[in-house]
Structure 1
């Protein structure tokens, strides 16, 4: 169906999508992943049914294990080195505390395969969004403020897919998971 826009009087810009003004700070509009949100809704229902969902029988899922293990063929610097070398010394104390918080949170749900899948989805969303949105901005040599705006955008975008959010993830929990990914060699805040 076609809607005619003729004879409309508009002051300013009329935009049907994202408007990017190249004279200002980088503007990022991450796309919300509806498939992830739908899968999370199903997982939440399973989890709420008995407080565990599908039991893990003492095993971590392979995909979650990938995020829990440090990659040995990439950037093997620790979180503190990555933050120092990217001029983020001011984040060191908070980042280390949040990384530990993320680890403890994941371990709290180790008996639930359902919860492991929730964490895997969230980590995967953060990792992909950082890689595809933040890393190119870092590689272009953007100022820290612009990089942080991109990081905030992916945190907000990830928060938006959580739906009912049975695990009560807040933005600081998501930031903790980003630091966790950085500490396990999955991402960095400086140029490659």
Structure 2
């Protein structure tokens, strides 16, 4: 029976019955950075150089007002204490991970995403917000859910508190305006 199949040239797969092809999704930028972070950490590949984009987000622009004043001016006095605590938490997150280039890139990517989401979806809706629960719902609806989809393995252990803290961090460093 097999003798009649000699001298056959297949231009692809030769399958005796059902062919099952598994196509895996292409790893995302966050997946690749997470893998790189795990490698850097296990190999103790540290850096003392802060990438430019993270420096951009970490440095305050020339606005004289601090986070408290910005939130007061926009009518959000009721989140000042929370905002200052969460801003500090993000600063600590950056300091804790500053010696790993991939961690810097992950944090920078997330800060850029938070800035984009805030400006595109949240800022316009702030006019209708007059209590903390409404603001939390706005952050949950537009910010937390979307950022969580990017986190993947979440090697830096960034949770909703830190995601929300990024808003206050960026506001305090003059990258976001609430009014």
The alignment's TM-score, normalised by the length of structure 1, stands at 0.70
Are 1:78 and 1:183, in contact at CA under 8 Å, matched by a contact in 2?
yes
How many residue pairs get aligned? The number is 152
Say if 2:155 is the partner of 1:149. Answer: no
The alignment's TM-score, normalised by the length of structure 2, stands at 0.75
User: Could you report, residue by residue, the CA deviation over 1:69-103 in whole angstroms, capped at 9, with x for unpaired residues?
Assistant: 1122xx54211011112222221112111111110
Q: Which residue of 2 aligns with 1:67?
A: 57
CA drift of 1:148 comes to 4.6
Secondary structure at the aligned position of 2:162 is classed as helix
Q: Which residue of 2 aligns with 1:43?
A: 33
In the aligned structure 2, how far is the partner of 1:129 from the partner of 1:53? Answer: 35
Q: Which residue of 2 aligns with 1:173?
A: 162
Say if 2:175 is the partner of 1:186. Answer: yes
Secondary structure at the aligned position of 2:155 is classed as coil
Pick the structure with greater CA Rg.
2
CA drift of 1:49 comes to 2.1
In the aligned structure 2, how far is the partner of 1:67 from the partner of 1:185? Answer: 9
CA drift of 1:130 comes to 0.4
Secondary structure at the aligned position of 1:144 is classed as coil
**Alignment CA distance shift 1:76-1:127 (3 Å):** farther
Q: Which residue of 2 aligns with 1:11?
A: none
CA drift of 1:112 comes to 0.8
**Alignment CA distance shift 1:78-1:151 (3 Å):** same
Larger helix share, 1 or 2 = 2
In the aligned structure 2, how far is the partner of 1:171 from the partner of 1:162? Answer: 11
Are 1:46 and 1:54, in contact at CA under 8 Å, matched by a contact in 2?
no
